[in-house]
Structure 1
Amino acid sequence: MNLNALIDFALVANNAGLGKASRASGRSKATLSRRIAELEEQLGVRLIERSARGLKLTEAGATLMARAEGPLNEVVEAMASARDGVSTPRGHLRVAAPVLFSQLAMGRIGADFCAAYPQITLDVVAEDRLVDLVEEQFDIAIRINPSPDSNLVGRCFARDRLVVVAAPEVPRPMPGATRPVPGIVMSASQPGHWTLDGGQLILKPVPTLRFSSFLMIRDAAVAGGGAALLPQSMAWGQLARGEQVQWGVASDVEAELWVLHTSRRLAAPKVRAFVDFIGARYPDMSLLLNG
């Protein structure tokens, strides 16, 4: 198959017409039309329907476009880098990240990343749901404790622990049998037991406050509303100032943050740059005092 014909087909499809594709690429409409005709001849199917109202992808054309667009973009980027003799990261980088991590860290990370790579424009979307990188056109996803996915590769760049905290005036239960405590919990959760420090202290949170955000839970704990189970990275500031105290570390619970991208063999320079940058941001793998 003629790679140039495939590239020109994608160009025409993305620009929704020969005229716009010609102006965007500087190639003549006749050349583009001939390349598409050659591709249709090779495949034995019609890819574009031509009418007085313009061009429209056939079902076969839409299928080919959906499967080929991502790899073609990578090939074009690689060819551009090879022509330049460099692999300078450039272009638009779209990242999906968990809401809490986005609120606490991604603003500073994004600003520093763009300062280091001025030819990249960064678009960060705060999403707790699992986005589809290909279908939703994300380059990178940051996920907490991700399930194995053969379509994604990446690495763990930081770890966090869960701790139980409360304001200093809230009475701390003594070790022993399971102790009920007033609890501040997530709205959608059904809290069980909080097993701390290898079982030395087991708490049964009795929900008195429910919130949909860890930030609200943290503030309510500082205000004396009860005990809360929080990521240590977002509680350390209040702990250091004495606004709240730590009752213990949740046993056998650790949050791993991974930076993931599609498992194509050829990762774009902008993707590799971000993966390396965020890894260097957390050299000790700890979220504390970083971000």
Structure 2
Amino acid sequence: MDTLTRMRAFIAVVESEGFSAAARKTGRSKALLSKYVRELEDEIGALLINRTTRQVALTAAGEVYFARASAVLADLESLNEAAREATGEAKGRIRVSAARTFGDAELGLSLIEFAAAHPDIALDVHLDDSFVDLVEQGFDVAIRMTRLTDSTMIARRLAPLEMAVCASPAVIERVGRPAHPGELTHLPVVVDTNARLLSTWHFRDPATGDTLPVTVSGRFTANSPVTVRAAAIAGLGYALSPEFVVRADLEAGRLVRVLEEFMPRDAGIYAVFPHRRHLPARVRVFVDYLAAWFKRCDGEKQAAKAAAE
């Protein structure tokens, strides 16, 4: 049995905080992992893990070995990826985090079309409207719809993200149409609790370019843009939503857009990934594909708009 296999077993046990959890994660038996770790300790001549019936704990030697072994395996993975990239080969698994709204909307087709176009790359897509820790949860890349502020990540802008404030015609007739964002403070709204600023909506002064924060409130909140859209259609209040979520409703007249001239233009759809010395070829291919996909869709949208005019 080679040392690298034993190192991987040891790291899996430490990261999983136990042999049983590591066995479930790796698909190997608990007895086999225990054997590998014991052989590694025999090879090194030092105890790496203190075992109890409930948990494992690193010894002083184990802490040193874990840090160095993790770096060695990371370097090895980078070396393998560099070799694959040199030969033009991109394969393996990509763990992707994306908002459920992204995956469930037409934008999710980008992921499906990528998978169809790259049979050697497996996509493991996790849809969650909350932000995830890419490093802690082991994701290769996240698709985020936001004003990007996290400087600890590497990001590539894929497309602009247009936001819209809208309400049903019945709501506008009942409570009035705001001429300025500040009026929303006194109007019923539907709040998406996934939004990072929750009940503070940011607008832009078209004359000065200054940010206009507006505090809003309403009796209906939800952690889903799709549910917020439905609540707005039902007449519960004004909603702030990604434009692509409500586009069909705006075109059909179920919702009416307001305050368009006050909407900021700095939000975007981003591919975000952790800092790495070498970006895996499969991730680079994936991000390049998404960028091209969004560019093509934007071109088609502009052409359709021009034809309609």
- Whether the TM-score (by the shorter chain) exceeds 0.5 is yes
Over residues 63-83 of structure 1, what are the superposed CA-to-partner deviations in whole Å (9 max), with x where a residue is unaligned?
A: 544564476256246337738
Q: Which residue of 2 aligns with 1:138?
A: 139
| Selected match of 2:223 from 202, 205, 212 | 212
Q: Sequence identity of aligned pairs in percent?
A: 26
Higher strand share: 1
Mapped partners of 2:278, 2:243: distance in 1: 37
Would the alpha carbon gap of residues 195 and 132 (structure 1) be closer, same or farther in structure 2, given more than 3 Å must change?
A: closer
Q: Which residue of 2 aligns with 1:232?
A: 243
Instruction: Give 1:193 deviation, angstroms.
Output: 6.7
Pairing 1:276–2:276 present = no
Mapped partners of 1:186, 1:219: distance in 2: 12
Gaps of 5+ in 1: 51-55
Mapped partners of 1:284, 1:208: distance in 2: 40
| Selected match of 2:189 from 170, 183, 206 | 183
Q: Which residue of 2 aligns with 1:53?
A: none
Instruction: Give 1:103 deviation, angstroms.
Output: 2.7
Q: Which residue of 2 aligns with 1:259?
A: 271
Mapped partners of 1:164, 1:288: distance in 2: 24
Mapped partners of 1:261, 1:195: distance in 2: 28
Mapped partners of 1:142, 1:57: distance in 2: 36
1:17-166 matched pairs, under 5 angstroms: 40=44, 46-47=47-48, 58-59=58-59, 60-61=61-62, 64-65=65-66, 68-69=69-70, 72-73=73-74, 75-76=76-77, 78-79=79-80, 82=83, 86-105=87-106, 107-143=108-144, 144-150=146-152, 152-166=153-167
Pairing 1:247–2:255 present = no
Gaps of 5+ in 2: 14-18, 303-309
Instruction: Give 1:86 deviation, angstroms.
Output: 1.9
What one-letter code is carried by the residue in structure 1 that aligns with 2:119? Answer: P
What one-letter code is carried by the residue in structure 1 that aligns with 2:192? Answer: M
What is the SS of the residue equivalent to 1:164? strand
Mapped partners of 1:175, 1:80: distance in 2: 55
What one-letter code is carried by the residue in structure 1 that aligns with 2:187? Answer: V
What is the SS of the residue equivalent to 2:259? strand
Instruction: Give 1:215 deviation, angstroms.
Output: 0.9
Mapped partners of 2:201, 2:154: distance in 1: 34
What is the SS of the residue equivalent to 2:169? coil
Mapped partners of 1:272, 1:193: distance in 2: 34
Would the alpha carbon gap of residues 220 and 157 (structure 1) be closer, same or farther in structure 2, given more than 3 Å must change?
A: same
Contact 2:94 2:283 in 1 (8 A): yes
Contact 1:159 1:287 in 2 (8 A): no
Would the alpha carbon gap of residues 190 and 47 (structure 1) be closer, same or farther in structure 2, given more than 3 Å must change?
A: closer
Of residues 181-190 and 266-275 in structure 1, the stretch that sits farther from structure 2 once superposed is 181-190
* Aligned CA-pair RMSD: 4.4
Instruction: Give 1:239 deviation, angstroms.
Output: 1.1
Mapped partners of 2:134, 2:161: distance in 1: 25
Mapped partners of 1:93, 1:285: distance in 2: 23
Contact 1:166 1:222 in 2 (8 A): yes
The number of residue pairs the alignment matches comes to 267
Instruction: Give 1:246 deviation, angstroms.
Output: 0.8
Over residues 23-70 of structure 1, what are the superposed CA-to-partner deviations in whole Å (9 max), with x where a residue is unaligned?
A: x9xxxx99x95x8766x37xxx544689xxxxx884343554456447
Mapped partners of 2:241, 2:138: distance in 1: 32
What TM-score do you get using the length of structure 1 for normalisation? 0.70
What is the SS of the residue equivalent to 1:282? helix
Contact 1:160 1:287 in 2 (8 A): no
Contact 2:165 2:257 in 1 (8 A): yes
What TM-score do you get using the length of structure 2 for normalisation? 0.66
Instruction: Give 1:257 deviation, angstroms.
Output: 2.5
Contact 1:159 1:286 in 2 (8 A): no
Of residues 138-147 and 68-77 in structure 1, the stretch that sits farther from structure 2 once superposed is 68-77
